[in-house]
Amino acid sequence: MSTMPSTFHLPADTSRLPMTLPRLHEKKALGEPIVMVTAYDYPSARAADSAGVDLVLVGDSGAMTVLGYDSTVAVTLDELLVLARATRRGLKMPFLVGDLPFGSYEISDEQAVATAFRFVKEAGCDAVKLEGGGETSVKRARAIVNAGIPVMGHVGLTPQTATALGGYKAQGRNAGAATRIAREAVALQEAGCFSIVFEAIPSAVTETIMPKMEIPVIGIGAGPAADGQVLVYHDLLGIREGRGAKFVQRYGDLLDDMIAGVTAYAEDVRTRRYPGPEHGYSIEVSELAEFRSEWP
């Protein structure tokens, strides 16, 4: 009969342990910044995993960055599940969150729970995210949490309903709007969300709300007072045209490198510089002679 060891020793580098909800809340309690990034496929997931980020979101932003839609509204549940499955295969350590697409959770609690189940069962997500902090979103969040699936909320600029908010612009820039966002954040927290994204709201508003937040707050264009930050993979690496939103910090210009690489390849093909002798395979002289003698 085996006995359990009296003590349990954690690895020296706990950052390479799989991220869990208790560890996320511990990071908040200790004031350790939480790093979140989007990913949509195996290569971007491998990059996020190797970089040691804490959270990975398969965002509906993949509608625009990967699938070429004009907005996030058009992407379907099945399309996002394909991206989520590919991302899951590339991750070992980060906590994976799947974004519930527009129209996949608003109709009823039953619809919301069924959609969340698909992200967990079919794509291996650890949690799901939904947008908005109004009555409907709060009810759907509570229903999904009660079904046993962790939920991340999202207030401020909510891209799925950007038209109703007056477009892709900062929110909470007057007292009434700031109060609404604060109340929505608290309501989502009370509904059982494990974390909330604050997007495109004044830094001072985030700072004012934070003392009421007992769960990790992830900011995107919401200032430094949040517990962590998230950026879209294609924005931070410059795999897109244009500069993006005001809050985006670029850490690369990979689209320029991609265009330059393909352009150089095309030029080499057209001028017959590629392929060169070093790119080909050889055949024994005798075998070549036999082949040629048999070929009409």
Give per-residue pLDDT as tens, 146-162: 999 999 999 999 878 65
- Is domain 16-252 in CATH 3.20.20.60, yes or no? yes
Cβ proximity of 65 and 40 under 8 Å:
yes
Out of 131, 199, 287, 290, pick the active-site residue. Answer: 199
Report d(CA 75, CA 226) in Å as an integer: 29
Single out the residue of 95, 183, 105 nearest to residue 144, CA to CA: 105
Q: Which pLDDT value is given to residue 168?
A: 65
Q: What are phi and psi of 201, to 5 degrees?
A: -130, 155
Domain parsing of the chain, residue ranges:
16-252, 258-294
Q: Which pLDDT value is given to residue 3?
A: 42
Q: Which pLDDT value is given to residue 229?
A: 98
Read off the pLDDT of each residue in 39-50 and give the average, rounded to a whole number: 98
Q: What are phi and psi of 36, to 5 degrees?
A: -130, 145
Confidence at 166, pLDDT banded by 50, 70, 90: low
Question: Does 170 have pLDDT greater than 60?
Answer: yes
State both tokens at 269: 């093909």
Which of 203 and 5 is assigned the larger pLDDT? 203
Contacts of 111 (CB under 8 A, 6+ apart): 104, 105
State both tokens at 191: 């509904």
Active-site annotation holds for 26: no
Question: Does 164 have pLDDT greater than 90?
Answer: no
Report d(CA 141, CA 150) in Å as an integer: 9
Read off the pLDDT of each residue in 174-195 and give the average, rounded to a whole number: 98
133: exposed, middle or buried (Cβ count in 10 Å: 0-12, 13-18, 19+): buried
